[in-house]
Structure 1
Amino acid sequence: MYQQRYLITGGSGFIGTELIKQLLLENHDVTVLTRNEVNTAKHFAAVMDAEREDFQTKAKVKTISSLDSINPDQSFDAVINLAGQGIADKKWTNEVKQQLIDSRIDTTKALYEFLNEALIKPEVVISGSALGYYGVDATNESINENGDTDNSFSSQLCQQWEAEAQKIEALGIRTCYLRTGIVLGKGGGALAKMLPPFKMALGGPIGSGKQWMSWIHMTDIVGLIRYAIEQESIIGAINGTAPVPVTNKEFSKTLGKVLKRPAIFPMPEFVVKLLFGQMGEELLLAGQRVVPEKVTQAGYRFKYANLESALRDIV
């Protein structure tokens, strides 16, 4: 297999860790932009040690804390921009909102400046975004990559993020904006926060339970990223979701079924608003019925198109 060269931001996050693990197992060359080179190197050393005994003789990440440390004549086959503070980690104060914006915009802007000066441009850039792009949707209509935006914070955040990445596309580089849904995987993400109460038979729908949850298995979000890199016809927005979204009520029922626990204890809307504020209103009480039309038409085949099979694989 041809050894490819990747530059990745946000590499030690939930998606980035799994993506880089797969790339290293195939002996690709991976450079990670990180604020803490030592901790990131230790993180991936531990990840890879858990995968194989002969890690020291195989590929491992190269870490950098600044894009300025890359020589202008160094080339990469693909750049994957996953940087950004977790959007559901904290209540959205004005300070946290600014941190969410800065952590995405600043890194994307730095990437543009680096690529503008690079003597050899990458073939493709995959730049992160999220389903929040489509705003607080209250309809049951399916949304493809041409869906509308609104004035909610999550939508404005994603619009700014993608607008910054569009400057990269203007350099003549094929650029994709990965609008990621709720990623389901082991050891992190939304499911890690949901499992404890459900395992104790205290789980249930949030609010009315009618809001849509557009989810995707970790295997497929990583697979989708790699497919988009390989397929030159894929450009612009990509919905990173499984083809069959479900309502929050259906998600809760299915998770309870997989865990063999009842899922009958709802979290009332007023409790969500009290505990999580605007973040809860936009991310927990609202939802969008998003479908991955572009990658499906391009021929990507999902390994986990069904929620129950996805949850059974994970839990």
Structure 2
Amino acid sequence: MNKVILAGGSGFLGSVLARYFATRAKHVVIFSRKPQPAVGNINTVQWDAKQLNNTWVRELEGADLLINLTGKNVNCRYTEANKKEILESRLDSTNVLGLALQQLQQPPRVWIQSASATYYRHAEDRPMDETTGEAGEGFSVDVCKAWEKTFADQIAPRTRKVLLRVGIVLGMGDGAFPRMLNLVRAGLGGRQGDGHQLISWIHEKDVAQIMHWLYQHETLDGMFNVTAPQPVTNAVFMDTLRRICKMPFGLPSPGWLLKLGAGVIGTETELILKSRWVIPKRLQQEGYMFAFPTLEGALKDIVG
């Protein structure tokens, strides 16, 4: 590969992808609001994720792969101001990238849009796949629907478009996992709520490899669930993590306590209590082989 573009790639997942593609492409370019010094063949170009600017638009010319990760972190209270920024940061960046591609002589060959498995409803009765999964309700789902529609509306006839509904990404860099690990090490790593809610997780290395694999398979487009093939309940997840960390006990967190704690630390209980039973049917049908199909193997690799 010659060039990979990571729009909104300065966060946790962007860092994972930058390291991965740095060994597989001549150039990796991150679009970020904040300037950063170059590191090897990884360069950062400033953008505001809203307005066209020749500085970043010309970086897209002739790129092999564009991955859009842009969006305000949802780990916050859903105030009106935060909800507005969560929605607009996703829609604005997708729109402006679509406009940019229409100006190019040689647009990127592939555009991968990272979205969210939160699209699906709370599910404890059956798994959600790409064909039989049902959309949920509420603010987060409304954001997912608008986000996906905005991506679908972009006119890019010379670019193959792929949408990913990504589950909870496990890695030490950031996201939910380091917080779960800290709870376990503090003796607070019991089940959260009733512990029955499903966690559709995926190892950070599989996310990177799936994006590369989709780039390589030129007949694949449309929407894919990006989760490991074996989701587990919250109770099993926390028990497995305690066992790997050799922590013999973990105090549970009932729902009322989670609601109280969420208000104190400025987040929402939905991130913990919603049951996401999502399976990667299309990836498995198309032959992708997961590096970490089981939770225990993934956690052993990450905690190490």
Scaled by the length of structure 2, what TM-score is found? 0.91
Q: Which residue of 1 aligns with 2:288?
A: 300
Deviation at 1:273, TM superposition (A): 2.2
Q: Which residue of 1 aligns with 2:300?
A: 312
Partners of 2:80 and 2:111 in 1: CA distance: 31
CA contact (8 A) 2:109 2:158 kept: no
| Pairing partner for 1:85 from 50, 56, 72 | 72
Partners of 2:155 and 2:285 in 1: CA distance: 22
Q: Which residue of 1 aligns with 2:93?
A: 107
Q: Which residue of 2 aligns with 1:65?
A: 47
Deviations 1:4-46 (A, max 9, x none): 2222212111111111112223342122211112xx33xx63x
- What secondary structure does 2:73 align onto? coil
Letter in 2 for 1:142: P
- What secondary structure does 1:179 align onto? strand
Unaligned runs of 5+ in 1: 46-54
Quick check: 1:75 aligned with 2:62? Answer: yes
Deviations 1:39-63 (A, max 9, x none): x33xx63xxxxxxxxx4xxx23242
CA contact (8 A) 2:32 2:44 kept: no
CA contact (8 A) 1:181 1:241 kept: yes
Quick check: 1:140 aligned with 2:125? Answer: yes
- What secondary structure does 1:256 align onto? helix
Q: Which residue of 1 aligns with 2:276?
A: 288
Quick check: 1:17 aligned with 2:7? Answer: no
The percentage of counterpart residues that share the same residue type is 33
Q: Which residue of 1 aligns with 2:32?
A: 34
Quick check: 1:194 aligned with 2:180? Answer: yes
Deviation at 1:264, TM superposition (A): 3.5
Q: Would the alpha carbon gap of residues 273 and 200 (structure 1) be closer, same or farther in structure 2, given more than 3 Å must change?
A: closer
Deviation at 1:263, TM superposition (A): 4.3
- What secondary structure does 1:36 align onto? coil
- What secondary structure does 2:141 align onto? helix
- What secondary structure does 1:284 align onto? helix
Partners of 2:10 and 2:59 in 1: CA distance: 25
* 1:234-313 correspondence to structure 2 within 5 Å: 234-276=220-262, 280-313=268-301
207-216 vs 223-232, which deviates more? 223-232
Quick check: 1:212 aligned with 2:203? Answer: no
Partners of 1:182 and 1:73 in 2: CA distance: 29
CA contact (8 A) 1:72 1:119 kept: no
Deviation at 1:262, TM superposition (A): 2.9
Deviation at 1:240, TM superposition (A): 1.0
CA contact (8 A) 1:234 1:295 kept: no
Deviation at 1:283, TM superposition (A): 1.9
Deviations 1:286-314 (A, max 9, x none): 12211111111111110100101110111
- What secondary structure does 1:32 align onto? strand
Partners of 2:249 and 2:80 in 1: CA distance: 35
Q: Which residue of 1 aligns with 2:216?
A: 230
Q: CA RMSD in A?
A: 2.0
CA contact (8 A) 2:102 2:155 kept: no
Unaligned runs of 5+ in 2: none
CA contact (8 A) 1:128 1:177 kept: yes
Letter in 2 for 1:86: N
Deviations 1:232-283 (A, max 9, x none): 2221111110000000000011000000113431111112223336963422
Partners of 2:254 and 2:82 in 1: CA distance: 25
Q: Would the alpha carbon gap of residues 286 and 71 (structure 1) be closer, same or farther in structure 2, given more than 3 Å must change?
A: closer
Scaled by the length of structure 1, what TM-score is found? 0.88
Partners of 1:288 and 1:72 in 2: CA distance: 37
Partners of 1:263 and 1:252 in 2: CA distance: 10
Partners of 2:28 and 2:153 in 1: CA distance: 24
CA contact (8 A) 1:32 1:61 kept: yes
- What secondary structure does 1:176 align onto? strand
Deviation at 1:140, TM superposition (A): 2.7
